[in-house]
A and B are shown apart, each in its own frame.
Chain A
Amino acid sequence: MEIIFGDVVTGVHGDDFEYLFSWQAGGPVSFKVDGREWLYRAPRPAVWRATTDNDRGNGFPIKSAMWLGADMFAACSKTELSVDGETVAKPLSPDNNAYGGPVQAETMTMTYTYTLPVVPATTVTVAYTVTPDGAIGVTVHYEGKEGLPELPAFGLRFIMPTPAKGFTYEGLSGETYPDRMAGGEPGEYTVEGMPVTPYLVPQDCGMHMRTKRVMVTRDAVLDNSRRDERDEFSLTFAQAEGAEPFAFSCLPYTPEEIENATHHNELPPVRRTVLTVCGAVRGVGGIDSWGSDVRPDFHIDAQQDHEFTFVIKP
């Protein structure tokens, strides 16, 4: 595995993979595997979900409205790099003149800290650790702050350049939420396309709790020289060793796109894949739709720290 110390981007290369971690865009801008791109834009913390009917009924989006801004406008406030366990204090120019070429390494970690525009402000750090097999270990940490309203979601959102053909996951059957997963049967499931559950008003949907791995499959790239290729290719997001299973949704839309639609035919044409890997999911509730809150065990307390880990495997 070799590292390219660029002026704007730190690249890491290995057999069949090339990842570009940007110092300017506040996150990785490219995960290329076998020459195919997996990132449309740099991933960002996911701290909003498209409001559900029950959320609206109990006033949750009013209480937690500031997370919508944070979901859309989190700024990267700090970027750190370490290689083989050593912090690289001066990776960029002119210091990188000293490298004189690629640098061999066994491990590299880029850590991005995002300051979320909430009051009081808090941070999310996302650390990507690349190893020579191309695996990217990801750890996402939320810093709890007293006075912050409950979180609608806590995850990391990957937007992929073209729509998924489907995804295969090992977890629970159907769409599950922490307070609605007893009926989910463990197993391996393949979902065609990226179905948006046709709730009457478009809203958060498609969550899959207790997932051990999900493999997203696409068959198109934006690369104009390969535009006509339709070979399927996949990327897997998996439970990390010793870590808890995770939750995810794989949809064609961001929460903001869904939030704005009053009917499904108002949603835009499907152009991309929005994979959100979650470490904490708020329950959906169900006692009524005009005031009752989600049961206490299924809130996401923003005043406490939260952290989750998973691994991306080419």
Chain B
Amino acid sequence: MDGASSMQSADLSWLDRPDVFRVNRLDAHSDHRCYATQGEAERDSSGLIMPLDGTWKFKYSPNPQARPAGFYRQAEAPADFDDIEVPGHIEIAGYDANQYINTMYPWEGHVYRRPAGLTEGDPGVGAFSDAADNPVGSYMRTFTLPEHMQGERIHVVFEGVEQAFYLWLNGHFVGYAEDSFTPSEFDLTPYINETGTNTIACEVFKRSTAAWIEDQDFFRFFGIFRPVKLVALPKLHVEDISVRSLLDDDLRTGAITVDMRLSAKEASCLAGATAEVSVIDPQGNRIASQTSSPEQDGDATLAFTGIADPQLWDNGSPNLYRVDVRLIDASGDVCEVAQVDTGFRKLVRDGVKVSLNGHRLYILGVNRHEWNADSGRSITVDDMKHDIDVMLRNNINAVRTCHYPDRLEWYRLCDRNGIYVMAETNLESHGTWQKMGAVEPSYNVPGNSSVWEKVVVDRAVTQYETLKNHPSILFWSMGNESYAGTAIAAMDAYYKSKDDGRLTHYEGVVHNRAFEDVISDLESRMYDPPEGARAYMSSNPKKPYILCEFMHDMGNSLGGFGDYMDLFDDFEGFLGGFIWDYIDQQLYAPDPLTGEKTLCYGGDFDDRCSDYEFSGDGLLFADRTEKPAMQEVKYYYGRYADGNHIR
């Protein structure tokens, strides 16, 4: 079965089948902003969106067999359903136990499992669909479309659901999705009640075959943990837009290309319609515009060439241009205004050297998990803004989204604030090959499996298509600690096929160098001591050298930072690194003795196995205050950031 199959009914066995990871889930598209009117665009407040966050009805079941199967057929939640807040984790709502664990799979010692799909048709061992350790969250809520959305095509977007979920609307099966950290979008139009009450229902499973590749070193949560929204598609709609800002070699002349894919409610809407595409400079001046006719031109490709002396985008000067698309129907009415931010920057790899806009690129980075001590990985835009401020204040100029894509707002904040992003695909499978520190890949996934290759390439496609327009993204990262084989090579080939001027990154190929020519533009290491870095860079290095993780800031740490920073002075091929990591992962819980709100960690919830305090490696404590080590980061990164301007 193809991963993107169209199916009419739900099947629990999909949880056990790595070849089924999305059913009726729409193809990913750019995260451009859409507005119904120019006024909405100016206020950055879209009337095309209706949030579905808030209180949902909820039933927790300890395993799939105990779930209230068929509840989605009812118009209202059964009486024994509770209330739950969306977004949020089911564990933090008190239904299921918190567990923090690193490399080991969360079922270690509890359930014997081997991944399905190592070879075609291999069912694996230890199914998820009838597993005692696979709790289910059954969610339901009702909504009524506001008048201005009635009659439009309606999609629903789940921005993050961990780890596998089935969706119904008004009793009809809508679709199924995995990949916890990218948006899952479905078309609700066929089943929607335009004027009456709609009932949306989901079953969210804590585990599925996706668990094998979502073995990140973090608290293991499930549930709808990022926002959910309805989106109305106006009769003319920009489905996808790819904006590229290109620079001549002398950086004095720019060009912007715009590739659009449009959709219409009915083909007749296209008759006489126009797409007016404008380029707005960082000061807000419209510097160019063109008009195309979707009816005649189809999906438009436009080029704005000869932009003289474009204002470049970098860490010190995050100059953003904007592309505005106005879709206008035959009678001259604006149907939709779409906006994309873009920036002129030229990333060049020349042998082992990497430059941005003609200057050496210094990656003064941190790894950042999304974290909030009250709400886990369900974070707010204020949390993100706080993090940006911390980075700017401390000369941190880069972030690796370890080890999954972040909430979309994060990338826009990085665009605006000049934070370089290593955008990491949602992939980590170290439990399949790293056994108590030893490399033992006997059942590694994705490995060389053609089945798993489809899964991980789909994740790469989703990340690329969603985030492709963000100037802040300089690197596509295939994932973390998943060993190396043909599947990851296929991800690399996919990202490279986009030829978008970015570099690819993956560390795990150092454990299987047979793939080093087809995986990763960078020689990436983690926790290599300074001597190891020197040894690589001194002996005819093939690639620029980067530390995707270094300076493990667990507890009272970050000693000897200067020995790494000296590498900038001694080697032109040293690209820098990302400190591990940004923020301690701890959760607030009441102290059993005093009832006081206290920060807890792995093992504090009777969670076994656990890796205990190993989640506390941040430059920030879990309450977002800075650790004392931050002044050292500010000092050393400041030597190369030159007041947040590239030296």
Contact = CB atoms under 8 A, between A and B. Distances in A.
A182 B614 CA distance: 27
Given A263-B600, A287-B529, A287-B551, A183 B556 contact: no
A295 B563 contact: yes
A178 B552 CA distance: 17
B501 to A, nearest CB: 33
Contacts of B119: none
B616 A182 contact: no
B631 A286 contact: no
Interface range on chain A: under 10, 10 to 19, 20 to 34, or 35 or more? 35 or more
Contacts of A182: 561-562, 632, 635-636
B86 interface: no
A288 B559 contact: no
Q: Choose among B527, B555, B613 the residue with the greatest number of A CB atoms under 10 Å from its CB.
A: B555
Nearest to A284: B559
B613 A201 contact: yes
Q: Choose among A197, A288, A298 the residue with the greatest number of B CB atoms under 10 Å from its CB.
A: A288
A204 B530 CA distance: 25
Nearest to A185: B631
A190 interface: no
A286 B633 contact: no
B631 A200 contact: no
A246 to B, nearest CB: 19
Contacts of A263: 598-600, 604
A175 B300 CA distance: 58
Interface in A194-223: 197-201, 203-205
A286 B553 contact: yes
A285 interface: yes
Interface in A176-190: 176-185
Contacts of A177: 556, 559
B556 A53 contact: yes
B584 A265 contact: no
Interface in A114-131: none
Contacts of B634: 183
A23 B560 CA distance: 44
Interface string B574-604: 0000000000101000010110101111001
Interface string A262-298: 0111000000000000000001111111101011001
A206 to B, nearest CB: 9
A180 B561 contact: yes
Q: Choose among B558, B617, B622 the residue with the greatest number of A CB atoms under 10 Å from its CB.
A: B558
B555 A199 contact: yes
Contacts of B636: 182-183
A53 B601 contact: no
A45 B416 CA distance: 54
A285 to B, nearest CB: 5
A294 B560 contact: yes
Contact of B527 (A173, A176, A284, A287): A287
A162 interface: no
B58 interface: no
Contacts of A183: 631-636
Contact of B555 (A200, A264, A288, A290): A200
B554 interface: yes
Interface residues of B, number: 45
Contacts of B600: 263
B552 A180 contact: no
Q: Choose among B552, B596, B614, B617 the residue with the greatest number of A CB atoms under 10 Å from its CB.
A: B552
A53 B562 CA distance: 20
A290 B586 CA distance: 20
B558 A284 contact: yes
A292 B527 contact: yes
B321 interface: no
B586 A286 contact: no
Contact of A197 (B559, B562, B627): B627
B621 interface: yes
Contact of A286 (B437, B557, B598, B622): B557
B298 interface: no
Interface in B516-555: 527, 529-530, 550-555
B629 interface: yes
A174 interface: yes
B628 interface: yes
A54 interface: yes
A52 interface: yes
Nearest to B557: A286
Given A174-B628, A183-B634, A265-B594, A286 B559 contact: yes
A184 B632 CA distance: 7
Interface in B36-51: none
A172 to B, nearest CB: 9
Contact of B599 (A200, A290, A295): A200
Contacts of A57: 554
Contacts of A198: 599, 621
Given A180-B632, A200-B601, A201-B613, A265 B556 contact: no
Given A54-B554, A292-B527, A295-B563, A199 B616 contact: yes
B559 A201 contact: no
Given A200-B622, A286-B559, 10 more contacts: A53-B613, A178-B559, A179-B559, A200-B584, A200-B599, A200-B615, A263-B600, A264-B599, A284-B558, A289-B617
23 contacts: A53-B555, A53-B616, A54-B556, A177-B559, A179-B560, A180-B560, A180-B629, A182-B561, A182-B632, A183-B634, A197-B556, A197-B628, A198-B599, A200-B601, A200-B616, A200-B622, A205-B556, A263-B599, A265-B591, A285-B557, A285-B559, A286-B551, A298-B560
Interface of B: 437, 527, 529-530, 550-563, 584, 586, 591, 593-594, 596, 598-601, 604, 613-617, 621-622, 627-629, 631-636
Top 8 A-B pairs, shortest CB-CB distance? A183-B635, A200-B616, A179-B559, A53-B555, A175-B628, A183-B631, A183-B632, A284-B559
